[in-house]
Structures are given as C-alpha cells and as structure tokens.
Amino acid sequence: MSEIRFRGVGKHYGDVEVITGFDLRIHDGEFMVLVGPSGCAKSTTLRMIAGLERITSGELLIAGKRANELLPAERNISMVFQSYALFPNMSVRENLSFGLRVRKTDSATVASEVDRVTGLLGLGDLLDRKPRQLSGGQAQRVALGRAMIRKPNAFLFDEPLSNLDAELRVQMRGEIIEMQRKLSTTTVYVTHDQVEAMTMGDRIAVMNKGCIMQLGSPTELYRRPANTFVAGFIGSPRMNLLEPGDLLGDCDPTVGIAHDRTGKLGIRPEHLLVESDDGAVPIGDARVTRIEDLGHEVLIHLRNARGTSLTARTGGRIAETVQSGQTVSLALRFDCLHSFETATGERLT
Amino acid sequence: MTYEIKSIGSSAFWFILPCLFVLALTSLYPIAFGFAVSLTNWNWGVQLDFVGLANYVGLLGDSEFWTVIKNTVVFAAAATSIEIALGFYLAVQVDKLSIPTDLIRAVIMLPLMISGIVVALMSKVMFDPFLGVVNYLIGAFGFGPSAFYGAALTAMPSIIAVDVWWQTSFVFIIMLAALRGLPKDPIEAALVEGASNFTIFWRIKLPMLRSLLITVVVIRAIDTLKVFDIVFGTTGGGPGLATEVAQTFVYRTAYSYQQIGKAMATMILFSLLILAISLALQGLRQRWEADK
Ligand SMILES: Nc1ncnc2c1ncn2[C@@H]1O[C@H](COP(=O)(O)OP(=O)(O)OP(=O)(O)O)[C@@H](O)[C@H]1O
Ligand SMILES: [Mg+2]
C-alpha cells in the first residue's frame, strides 16, 4: 500500500515526446482510472510506474521515495498487461504461481493461493492448459489471476476486461472493485470503457496526448467537464457541442449563456428534450434522421433547419411514437447547459 | 496452433507422383548404387566380385574402424558442445548490450566466411612448432613449445579448437537473432513479477528457445560428424590414427588403397550412425514440443 506520485514527469522516445510535465498524485489505497483516446500514453504511464519504461525527466515517487531508478522487482507491483503477457511455456497453474514461487513462498501457501484465485476467476478446468490453448477471454482471466495472487504495493491494470463477454465483464468488474476495497491497495486502471471508468474509479484522470485534461471524481467529470475534450470524451453518446447560432440563429435563446458570442455550448443528449417539459425553453424544430432503440433508452439523432446534427436520449413514451423523417420540436433546460471558450476549449462557468 | 488437412483426395497422390519419381531417381539411386558397390570388392578397375557382407564383417571386426568411429564421435561431440555453449553464451552477452551491435556481429561472423581448407592452412601455419605464432605466444608466458598437430595427445584438441574458432559464430548468429526475436511481453511480465535476470533466462527465455537450440545442435552434430577439410588440411588423420575420422578414412581407403567396396561399406555404416544420432535428437525435440 503506497502513494504513487508523478512530479513533472516526461518521457521521450528519441525525438518523440510522448509525455511532458506530467503531474499526478494517486493516494494510498485509491482506485485511479486513466481514460483517453488510443495513443495518449496510458500504457506508457503504467509502464513507468512498473519500472518497465525509463523516465526521461522528472520524478516518480512510490510511498514517498524516489523510484525512478528502482528495478521492477524492487517495486513489488502487480500488472495486468494489455496483451496478457502470459508465459507461453508454462501451464496456467505455473503462470498463476510464478510470482509467489520466485519470492520463495512455501508450497502449501502457493497451493492455497492458486486455489483461491482459481475459484475467484473460474479457472478450475484450465489449470493444466498452456496459454496457446486458451481463448482471449480465458487468457485475460489468467492474467488477472496472476496479478491478484500476490499482495503488492499497487495494482496496475491495462484494459484488463476488454476481451471478456458482457456478462463476465460485469462480474469481473465487481470482483476487481470488491478485491480493491477489501485490500485497499492503490490501483491504477486503464480503460476505454465508459461504464468501467464511471463505476470503478474513486477518481478519473482523462488524458490526451500525454497530458491530463481533467482529474476528478466520476460525477465531477460528468457534471462539470473542465473543457470541450473531457466534455466530448466522458459520456456516451457524447455531448452535443454547438457553436452559438447553431440552433436558432440570432434569436437563439442560448446565446446569452455564453459570455461572449465565441463561446461553445454543450448539451448532454439526456438534456435535449424531444417532449415539452415544464421550465424547458423551446429551441426550434428538427428532423429525426435515425433512431437507436436500446430497450431501456432510445437515442434519437436529429438535424435542425441550420444543418446542425444533434443527439437526444430519452426513456420516455415518445420513443414509441416518434419515427425517422418526422419533425419534432426541441427544448432544453438552461441549468443543464455547459459553455466553453472557443479558442481554448476551457469551461466558462 | 495446428492446422490439419481433414481429407486429402486420392488424386493428390497422382500430383505428387512425378515429384516422388524425380526424388527417388536423384537421391535413392546413388544410395542404392553405393550400397550395391559395398557388397563387392571393386578396385576401380577390373576386379569386381560379389562378396556379400564381407566388407561389413571385416570393418566391424577391425579395430582401426572402431578407432576411426571413436575419433569422429569424440570430435563431433566435443566441437558441437563447445560451439553450442560458447556461441549461445556470446549471443546472450551481446543481446544484453544496449549499444548497436552490428560491428560486433560482423567481426564474430568473419571466420564463417572462410572455406575449410583455408582455415586448415592458416591454422597449420599458426600452430607450426617452429614458425607458428601460437608457440611464440605460449613461449612468452613461459611454457615450452608444443607440437600441436604433430603429437598424438594434442592433435585432436587442436583440430577441435580450429573447428570451434571456425563455426562458433554460426551458433552465435542464429541464437542472437532468436534472442532478439523473443516476445518482450512475457519477459516484462516476469520482471514485474519479481524474477531475477537469472530466473528469466532459465525459466522464460530458454524454454522458448529450446526447440531452436536442438535444431542448431542437430545441424552442428551432422556437420561435425562429416568433418573432412580441416582434418585433411592439417593432420591428414595422423599422427598414426590419432585424428583419423570417417571421411579421411574413406578417402584413404578409396583413393590410396582402391578398396571402393570397403569405402562404400564404411559410408553406409557411417550414414546409419548419423541417421541414428539425428533421429535421437529429433525425438528429444518432439518430446519437448509436445510438452510445450
Ligand atoms: N517504443 C516506442 N517508440 C516510439 N514511440 C512509442 C513507443 N512506444 C509507444 N510509443 C508512442 O507513445 C504513445 C503512447 O503509447 P501508449 O501505448 O502509452 O498509448 P495508449 O494510451 O496505451 O494507447 P492504447 O489505448 O491504444 O493502448 C503512442 O503515440 C505511441 O506511438
Ligand atoms: Mg495501451
């Protein structure tokens, strides 16, 4: 258990700057989620914590001590690799117990720990298989088991559930959270999955091009995204980001919301109302271009008279009546509106 | 991953047939011819009588033949194991270097580009008891001069040393490429799991290289069992029978004594030996593959 702290960390591959001036403090026992588009250096960040990637500049502190020069083995960290990284010549059982065996754990403890993890992850039938005889999902579970069998200073997960089916994913999500709460081990978790990011993390760091765009609790990021990048990245389907005038031109009721006319507006799909509602301001008509019925909710894709594309999310009765090609009137609530400066993308209010 | 062809139509046989025929003609015919000659007392001239297995019986009862086989196996076993150990060791060390290794690789590869008879000639000059630089060097360290190729005790080790000098880089090149091509992920995972470099080498890298290593052993074993040029070019099999190996023995039997039948019989027996050794190593590899 230990705090992990980046102080002005930079990472170059030759001339390519992948990370610059990276500052992040992951508290002892915290579950930190890293999200961001592909190639934004999430894996690189994890690998620096694990000691697999040399840090070019700045300082990495683990439990308050400088860790830049520590060997991976000296950090006592568990990692689930994006590519599983199982040992190809060893059986599942040997893969699971490798970390304990190199630490000279007695064989009774090894056996009981293997049993525990096997039960937890449902690997019972696979213990004597070799990695090449496993499906992607099975291999991923073995990789999880290999990380969870030890009691490390920190867990690092690099998209550990990406290859599991929906049901198993929900189940494993629960297992990981439960295990983390029970052991309260510092955890850094990389994911692409919105639901994982929102439900698992104590805090989320949204990354882009090697920088942190915003750091905060899931609710904070959702309710008050600090910039257009986070606004667009967190939430699925993504927030409608509009130039003023995209709705009704000069008589656009939203114009006044932005402090100047160059501000951008953000409306979450669930705040764009297709049915009239008390206290909602009408913002004109739009044509329905496509409907996605997900069962528990309906996504309605629209295009208004100014050619602006919009997405609305509704769970209401309207879903049963609305049809593609139909024209509906839109409305929104002012208190749910986000506004961002056009030039920098920073939040205005 | 294994891909199996579930059913092959019988028509496939007819497609393979011409190919089989050519193969049979080019590789089976010479072997069959050799075997036929081994049953005669042909002397490259008019003497050509069927003698049955007399050549074989004669050889197997001849202590000279057994000395030759022993020499060949000793040479092959010693040269192969030293070359494998040294070449692999060098590859592991060079693989660890984080600097560009092209130059090192080129230098280590140089001996491989020289032909055997030239290697023999160069070593003969260097190991010469009177003119050779090697004796000069060991003299500088206070040791007396050695006859090397000229003495029964030192001739075989000298030839082994020359082969090691000549062929170690073959093992080095292949094993270095294999080490460089190993997947990075399992090694990194082992590092994170807390394994030392020693453990990673023995438990992760070596098992992944095992079957290639056996293949290299097979290649080197066959190549050293068939040694000719460096023996012929240095000791010629002497002194006495000290370094006489299968190929030089056959050469002498055929070209000096014109006993073609006996020479062919030796070749057949020797080929069976090579076959047995290759099959044994191959079997070992298959056991490991199945176990993987
Ligand atoms: N060895 C390398 N040499 C040069 N550039 C590299 C190297 N490894 C990674 N990069 C670059 O560093 C950046 C970050 O890579 P990284 O793997 O950390 O991304 P990521 O956020 O994990 O992406 P993904 O979500 O696709 O896994 C990428 O732009 C990648 O091209
Ligand atoms: Mg990644």
What is the structure's pLDDT at B1?
45
Query: Which of A13, A45, A46, A156 for a ligand 1 pocket mutation test, highest count of atoms within 8 Å of Cβ?
Result: A13
For residue A129, which phi and psi values (nearest 5 degrees)?
-80, 160
**Nearest in space to A8 (alpha carbons), one of A175, A155, A210:** A210
Burial class, B142, CB count within 10 angstroms (exposed 0-12 / middle 13-18 / buried 19+)? exposed
Q: How far is the CA of A191 from the centre of ligand 2 (A)?
A: 9
Burial of residue B7 (number of CB atoms within 10 Å: 0-12, 13-18, 19+):
exposed
Distance (Å) from CA A79 to ligand 2 centroid: 13
- Residue A40 Cβ < 6 Å to ligand 1: yes
For residue A330, what pLDDT band results from cuts at 50, 70 and 90?
A: confident
Residue corresponding to tokens 């082969």: B163
Mean residue pLDDT of chain A comes to: 87
Which among A52, A76, A89 has the least Cβ separation from residue B208? Answer: A89
* Cβ–ligand 1 contact at A150 (below 6 Å): no
pLDDT by position in tens, chain B (length 292):
445 555 556 777 888 888 888 988 888 888 888 888 888 888 787 877 778 777 888 888 888 888 998 999 999 999 999 999 999 999 999 888 877 778 888 888 888 888 888 888 888 777 777 677 777 777 777 676 676 776 777 788 888 988 998 999 999 999 999 999 999 999 999 999 988 889 999 999 999 998 899 889 999 999 999 989 888 888 877 787 888 888 888 888 888 888 888 888 888 888 888 899 889 888 888 887 766 5
Question: Does A87 sit within 8 Å of B204, measured CB to CB?
Answer: yes
Please list the residues that pair with A31 across neighbouring strands.
Answer: A187
Phi, psi (deg, nearest 5) at residue A58: 85, -170
What is the total residue count of chain A? Answer: 349
* pLDDT for position A231: 92
Residue A297 in this model has a pLDDT that exceeds 60: yes
Contact B87, B179 (CB under 8 A): no
Report residue A111 CA to chain centroid gap.
35
Q: What is the pLDDT of residue A340?
A: 87
Is the pLDDT score of A167 beyond 60? yes
B115 touches chain A (CB under 8 A): no
Does A28 have pLDDT greater than 60? yes
Residue B172: alpha-carbon gap to chain centroid: 15
Ligand 1 site, residue A214, Cβ cutoff 6 A: no
Q: Whose CA is nearest to atom 7 of ligand 1?
A: A13
ipTM of the shown complex: 0.81
What's the gap between Cα A64 and its chain centre?
A: 26
Residue A276's pLDDT is 64
- Output the six-digit token pair for A67: 């860790």
> How many angstroms separate the Cα of A139 from the Cα of each of A81, A162, A180, A285, B200?
11, 12, 21, 51, 21
Please report the pLDDT score of residue A268 as a whole number. 92
More confident residue, A284 or B172: B172
pLDDT tens digit sequence for A55-70: 999 999 998 889 989 9
Whole-angstrom Cα distance, residue A99 to residue A286?
A: 60
Neighbours of A46 (CB within 10 A): 23
Distance in angstroms (rounded) separating the CA atoms of residues A36 and A44: 13
| The pLDDT of residue A255 | 54
Q: Nearest-CA distance from B207 to chain A in Å?
A: 6
CA A277 – CA A204 distance, rounded (Å): 33
Q: How many CB atoms are closer than 10 A to CB B79?
A: 26
Provide CB contacts within 8 A for A339, sequence distance 6+.
Answer: A257, A258, A259, A263, A264, A265, A266, A347, A348, A349
Q: What is the largest CA-CA distance in chain B?
A: 76
Q: How many CB pairs under 8 A join A and B?
A: 65
Contacts of B229 (CB under 8 A, 6+ apart): B115, B116, B117, B119, B120
- Please report the domains of chain B, with CATH numbers, ordered by start residue: 56-291 (1.10.3720.10)
Q: Tally Cβ neighbours within 10 Å of residue A336.
A: 15
- How far is the CA of A40 from the CAs of A16, A206, A214, in angstroms? 13, 10, 14
Banded pLDDT at A14 (limits 50, 70, 90): confident
User: Which protein residue has the closest C-alpha to ligand 1 atom 30?
Assistant: A39
Residue A259's pLDDT band (boundaries 50, 70, 90)? very low
Testing ligand 1's pocket by substitution, the residue of A11, A17, A33, A43 carrying the most ligand atoms inside 8 A of its CB is: A43
Residue A260 has pLDDT above 60, yes or no: no
SS3 category, A244? coil
Question: What six digits make up the tokens of B199?
Answer: 């453990």
Taking CA atoms, B5 is separated from B8, B19, B20, in Å, by: 7, 20, 20
Residue A207 C-alpha to ligand 2 middle, in angstroms? 12
Q: What is the mean pLDDT of residues A151-155?
A: 90
| Residue spans of beta strands (DSSP E) within chain A | 4-13, 16-26, 31-35, 57-62, 65-66, 77-80, 154-158, 186-190, 203-208, 211-216, 240-242, 264-267, 272-273, 281-293, 298-304, 309-314, 327-332, 338-340
- For residue B39, the number of C-alpha atoms closer than 13 Å in the C-beta half-sphere is 7
Mean pLDDT of A16-45: 92
How confident is the model at residue A80, as a pLDDT?
Answer: 92
Residue B188, Cα to own-chain centre: how many angstroms? 36
Nearest ligand to the C-alpha atom of residue A48? 1
Q: How confident is the model at residue A254 (pLDDT cuts 50, 70, 90)?
A: low
Which ligand lies nearest to the CA atom of residue A81 in the structure? 2
